[in-house]
Each structure stands twice: as structure tokens, then as C-alpha cells.
């Protein structure tokens, strides 16, 4: 897991950098006016599909594919894969036709203020982007297949390819002053980003069959797993919208941008660390779950959680301790003032614990999905989001903008405790008491790290400046943290380091 995880993290960071370049180029070429609004409106449906439907299909597919392969063999599992692709293409065609017919009203839903020519252009853009639905549905199945076959690189590279096309299309839009170049470039990027999938899947043993069977019992089983996952993902997406809506309604429209900047920082850690590790380990967890090896599945889940927390806890503590210099370094320039930096860094401290608690929820949820139970995580998420909305209303009024972040952190903490409780009730407690001790050791090591980081930054900043001082402080404290981890011998982490040392020596 170690080598692949590190490579995935590097590629994800590169994707984030390309995303930042994309937004910078778009800001310079088309600004923040009508064209940008129209583009965002037209790409909202693919974005929502990617976050909700596609992730739901991937998770459900891995579980069902693993079960079929265990029960009936690889040939039957591959046949199911072909059938699923064909079934999704039929459903995709129906969705495509509905978008073509109702593109105007759909554009109005996402951007109510669009009128006249801008609304007409948004309608055209939405129809053009509707073609990408077929690519997304196909990619969801093949992404799951590649993950089961331990190919995690091709699926994660897609975002870099997409960003290259969007950046190129944006520049050409500026040169030729034709906004349709932008949306056509985005459409091509959304399709071409998956260009490696047919070749990569064939290399891993997949052979496409012309098969269409709607009444396949495994299709019904997949839908039963997938729908609660989609609702869970949608609930998380709605929660983000509620945060911004309440911030705007209770505290003023300018607070929405501050929530946006803060969430970008949180997403960076969650996507680079938590999502990547959860993605890599899920096929293994699903295999153990489908084979009925529940104790082994619990051990795998526990070790995955410890390794993830060993990265997430120090990153969270470090972000909270050095929030102000981090925000100042990344954002504080031009229209983003020192006052804005102070507000966003304070909000970041309020939001940061969310990273730790969402890690518990993401990793543990995979065990439920592995055995075909997607309803338990859904119930927990709905309870969590209800608490979040309630606390948003109360805390935002009482303590202002920081209350929005605190509400998210508290509700996610409750959600993580609930999912642990449900996990123990369904699968039984983990017998190894060292897991709790490991989390304690990681937390203590992280506290030592942040004391070193704060001291180093305070000393270095006056000599070498904010940027270099921050980087050196993070590097020095990070080295000390790794030494502490190795010394206290946290089993999953220690074993991973030992494997790396043996591999280097050999």
C-alpha cells in the first residue's frame, strides 16, 4: 500500500496545482462575469454526477463485482461488468434526452438571475455538456474495475488531463473571443480524460460483451447498495450548500467566499490522504467481507484507520497551529486583505477537527459497503447533517462565522461516534486494544510536533521570512514526528516503515 499511496498523493497534489492554474487562467481570461457564471451553470450537472452518482456506482460495483467473482468466478464478473455498462448507457440516454429538452429550466434552477442572451447561452452550454454523461457513466464502472484490479493510477490521472484541456480552451477563448470554444474544450476534456480506460481495463483482463439484461439480479443488488450511497453523498453536498447559504443569510454575502477558501484547505487534506487511502484499501476490504472473513476485515479496517490517522492528525494539528501564516502565504495578496486572512484562519481552526472525524466515517463506512450494507452509513450521515443544520443556526447567531465551522466539526464528531457504535454492534469490537493506544500515541506525537513547529516558525520567520520560515518549520517538526512514530512503535505504521527499509536495503 505504501508506494501506491504515496504516488497517488503526489498525483492528487499535482491535480490540485493544475486546478489552481485553471482557476487563475479563467480569472485572467474570462474574469468573474457572465461567461464564468454560464460555464459554472453548464458544468454543475457533471460536477454533481461526479460527486454523487459516480462515487455511488464505484463503491457499489466493487462490492457486487467482488461477490460475483467469489461466488461464480471471474468470467461471470466480467460479463456482469459489460451488462452494467450497457444498462447505464440506456439510462444515460434517457437522462441525456431530458437534459436536451429541459436545458432551459435546468439552467434557471442553477442560476436564477440569468436572462435573455446569457440564459440562451447557458441553455446551449448545458446541452453541449450533456454529452459527457455517457463518458461519466462508462468511467464509473471501469474505474471500479481498475480499482479491483489494483490499478489506481489511471483513474486518478484523469483530473490532470481534464484541467489541461480546460486551460487550453480558456486561452483559445481569449484569443478568438468565442465562448463556445470554452465549453467545447471542457466537453472534449471530460471525454478524453478517460482515454486510457479501455486499454487499461483490457490489459487487466476485461473483454466487452454485447449484453443487455435489465432483470439481472446483480443489477438489482447493485442498485440497492448504490442508492443509499448516492443519497449519502448528496447529503454531504447539500450540507456544504447549507453552510454557505446560512453564512450568507445570517452573516452577509461576503462570508460565502471565506467559507469557500476554508473548505478548499480542508478538502486538500481529505482528498490527498483520506480519500486516496480509502480508495486503495476498499477492494481488499470488500474481498474479505464477501468471503465472510469478518475478523480479517476488521483488522484491515483498523490498520487502515491507524495509518490514515497517523497522517491526518498531525496535518490537522499543524494546520490549526499555523493557520494564520498558512492562509497569509496562500491567499493574502491584492484584494485578499490581512483582515480577511485573520477571519479565514480563525474559521479554519473551527473547521479543522472535521478532517479527523470525517476520516473515521470514510474508512469505517467502507466495511459496511463491503458486506452490502449502505443503509447504516446513510442513517448516520442523515443524523449528522440534521445536527449540523441545527447547530449552524444556533452557533452562527451566537459566535458568528466561526460557529459555522464549529457546527460542522461537532456534528461530524457525533457522526463518527455513531458510526463506530453501529460498527461495533454489527461486526463486534476489535479485540486488539493497541488501536486505542496507537491513536493516543499519534495524538501525543502530533502535539509535540506542533509545539516544535510553532517554536521553529516563531524563530525562523524573523530571519528568513514567512514562506521559507513556514516550510522549514513544517519540515523540521515533520521529521521529529516521524522519529517519534518510529520510536513508539505504532504497529501498522512501524510495519510499513520496516517494509520500506527492508525494500531499500534489498
Question: DSSP for 256-275?
Answer: HHHHHHHHHHHHHHIIIIII
Q: First-to-last CA distance in the chain?
A: 18
Going by C-alpha positions, the residue among 95, 131, 369 that lies closest to residue 227 is 369
CA angle 65, 219, 422 (to 5 degrees): 70
For 477-506, give one letter per residue: b (16+ CB within 10 A) or e. bbebbbebbeebebbbbeebbeeeeeeeee
Distance between CA atoms of 104 and 120, rounded to whole angstroms?
8
Q: 3-state SS of the chain: helix, strand, coil percent to 5? A: 85, 0, 15
- Positive or negative, the Cα torsion across 381, 426, 280, 409? positive
- Where are the alpha helices (H) located in 130-275, listed in sequence order? 132-148, 153-176, 179-192, 197-203, 217-251, 254-269
Distance between CA atoms of 117 and 35, rounded to whole angstroms?
11
Phi–psi pair at 461, nearest 5 degrees:
-55, -40
Specify the pLDDT at position 379: 94
CA angle 194, 16, 374 (to 5 degrees): 65
> For residue 223, how many other CB atoms are within 10 A of its CB?
15
Please identify every stretch of the chain with a pLDDT value under 50, giving residue numbers as ranges: none
Going by C-alpha positions, the residue among 230, 18, 43 that lies closest to residue 140 is 230
Specify the pLDDT at position 228: 92
| Cβ–Cβ under 8 Å, residues 217 and 76 | no
What is the residue whose three cell numbers read 457499489? Answer: 60
| Cβ–Cβ under 8 Å, residues 467 and 475 | no
| Cβ–Cβ under 8 Å, residues 12 and 156 | yes
Going by C-alpha positions, the residue among 418, 59, 420 that lies closest to residue 224 is 59
Specify the pLDDT at position 180: 94
User: Which DSSP state fits 431?
Assistant: S
Q: What is the pLDDT of residues 407-462, one digit of tens each?
A: 999 999 999 999 999 999 999 887 666 677 888 889 999 999 999 999 999 999 88
Specify the pLDDT at position 432: 62
Q: Is 123 exposed, middle or buried (0-12, 13-18, 19+ CB in 10 A)?
A: buried
| Cβ–Cβ under 8 Å, residues 156 and 15 | yes
Q: What is the pLDDT of residues 7-64, one digit of tens each?
A: 888 898 899 889 888 877 887 888 757 787 788 778 877 777 777 888 899 999 999 9
Distance between CA atoms of 245 and 242, rounded to whole angstroms?
5
302 to 240, 281, 364, 410, 427: CA distances (angstroms): 29, 11, 9, 23, 12
- Positive or negative, the Cα torsion across 342, 18, 27, 48? negative
Specify the pLDDT at position 252: 67
Distance between CA atoms of 55 and 49, rounded to whole angstroms?
8
- Positive or negative, the Cα torsion across 268, 272, 273, 274? positive
36 to 25, 466, 488: CA distances (angstroms): 12, 33, 52
Plot region of 476 (φ>0 → left; ψ -120 to 50 → alpha; else → beta):
alpha
Distance between CA atoms of 67 and 71, rounded to whole angstroms?
6
Specify the pLDDT at position 131: 93
Total-model pTM: 0.85
| Cβ–Cβ under 8 Å, residues 24 and 333 | no
Contacts 24+ apart (CB under 8 A), 395-400: 396/246, 396/247, 396/250, 396/251, 397/250, 400/251
Amino acid at each position: 500500500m505504501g508506494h501506491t499511496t504515496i504516488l497517488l498523493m503526489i498525483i492528487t497534489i499535482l491535480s490540485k496545482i493544475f486546478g489552481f492554474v485553471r482557476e487563475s487562467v479563467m480569472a485572467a481570461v474570462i474574469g468573474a462575469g457572465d461567461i464564468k457564471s454560464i460555464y459554472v451553470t453548464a458544468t454543475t450537472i457533471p460536477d454533481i454526477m461526479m460527486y454523487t452518482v459516480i462515487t455511488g456506482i464505484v463503491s457499489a460495483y466493487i462490492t457486487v463485482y467482488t461477490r460475483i467473482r467469489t461466488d461464480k468466478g471471474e468470467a461471470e464478473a466480467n460479463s456482469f461488468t459489460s451488462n452494467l455498462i450497457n444498462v447505464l448507457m440506456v439510462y444515460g440516454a434517457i437522462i441525456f434526452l431530458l437534459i436536451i429538452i429541459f436545458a432551459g429550466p435546468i439552467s434557471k434552477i442553477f442560476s436564477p438571475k440569468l436572462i435573455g442572451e446569457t440564459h440562451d447561452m447557458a441553455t446551449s452550454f448545458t446541452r453541449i455538456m450533456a454529452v459527457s454523461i455517457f463518458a461519466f457513466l462508462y468511467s464509473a464502472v471501469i474505474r471500479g474495475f481498475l480499482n479491483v484490479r489494483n490499478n489506481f493510477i489511471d483513474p486518478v490521472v484523469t483530473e490532470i488531463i481534464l484541467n489541461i484541456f480546460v486551460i487550453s480552451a480558456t486561452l483559445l477563448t481569449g484569443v478568438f473571443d468565442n465562448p463556445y470554444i470554452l465549453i467545447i474544450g471542457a466537453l472534449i476534456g471530460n471525454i478524453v480524460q478517460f482515454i486510457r480506460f479501455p486499454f487499461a481495463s483490457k490489459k487487466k483482463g476485461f473483454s466487452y460483451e454485447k449484453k443487455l439484461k435489465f432483470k439481472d439480479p446483480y443489477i438489482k443488488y447493485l442498485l440497492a447498495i448504490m442508492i443509499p450511497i448516492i443519497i449519502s453523498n448528496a447529503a454531504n453536498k447539500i450540507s456544504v450548500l447549507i453552510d454557505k447559504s446560512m453564512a450568507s443569510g445570517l452573516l452577509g454575502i461576503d462570508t460565502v467566499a471565506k467559507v469557500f477558501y476554508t473548505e478548499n484547505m480542508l478538502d486538500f487534506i481529505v482528498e490527498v490522504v483520506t480519500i486516496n487511502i480509502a480508495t486503495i484499501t476498499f477492494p481488499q476490504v470488500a474481498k474479505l467481507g464477501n468471503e465472510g472473513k469478518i475478523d480479517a476485515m476488521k483488522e484491515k479496517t483498523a490498520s487502515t484507520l491507524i495509518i490514515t490517522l497517523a497522517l491526518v492528525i498531525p496535518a490537522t494539528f499543524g494546520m490549526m497551529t499555523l493557520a494564520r501564516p498558512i492562509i497569509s502565504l496562500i491567499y493574502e495578496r491584492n484584494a485578499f486583505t490581512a483582515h480577511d486572512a485573520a477571519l479565514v484562519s480563525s474559521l479554519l481552526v473551527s473547521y479543522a477537527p472535521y478532517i479527523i472525524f470525517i476520516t473515521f466515517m470514510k474508512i469505517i463506512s467502507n466495511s459496511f459497503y463491503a458486506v452490502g450494507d449502505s443503509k447504516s452509513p446513510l442513517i448516520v450521515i442523515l443524523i449528522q447533517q440534521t445536527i449540523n443544520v441545527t447547530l449552524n443556526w444556533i452557533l452562527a447567531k451566537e459566535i458568528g462565522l466561526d460557529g459555522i465551522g464549529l457546527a460542522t466539526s461537532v456534528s461530524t464528531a457525533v457522526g463518527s461516534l455513531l458510526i463506530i457504535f453501529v460498527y461495533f454492534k454489527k461486526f463486534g469490537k476489535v479485540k486488539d486494544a493497541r488501536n486505542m493506544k496507537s491513536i493516543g500515541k499519534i495524538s501525543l506525537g502530533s502535539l509535540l510536533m506542533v509545539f516544535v513547529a510553532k517554536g521553529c516558525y516563531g524563530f525562523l520567520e524573523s530571519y528568513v521570512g514567512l514562506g521559507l520560515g513556514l516550510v522549514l518549520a513544517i519540515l523540521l517538526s515533520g521529521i521529529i514526528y516521524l522519529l517519534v512514530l518510529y520510536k513508539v512503535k505504532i504497529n501498522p505504521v512501524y510495519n510499513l516503515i520496516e517494509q520500506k527499509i527492508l525494500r531499500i536495503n534489498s
